[in-house]
Amino acid sequence: MIIDILAQAEPAMPVAPDVPMNPVMIGLLSLCSLGLLVTWVMVVVQAFKKGKGPLLGILSLIFCILGGLIIGWIKAKEWGIQKLMLIYTILTLLYMVLYGAVVGPIISAAMAAGAQAQ
What are the tens digits of pLDDT across the range 41-67? Answer: 898 888 888 877 787 777 777 777 788
CB 14 within 8 A of CB 114: yes
Instruction: Determine the pLDDT at residue 53.
Output: 75
Cα angle value 89/106/112 (rounded, 5°): 135
The reported pTM is: 0.72
Instruction: Determine the pLDDT at residue 33.
Output: 93
Instruction: Determine the pLDDT at residue 2.
Output: 59
* pLDDT tens figures, 72-91: 898 899 989 999 999 999 99
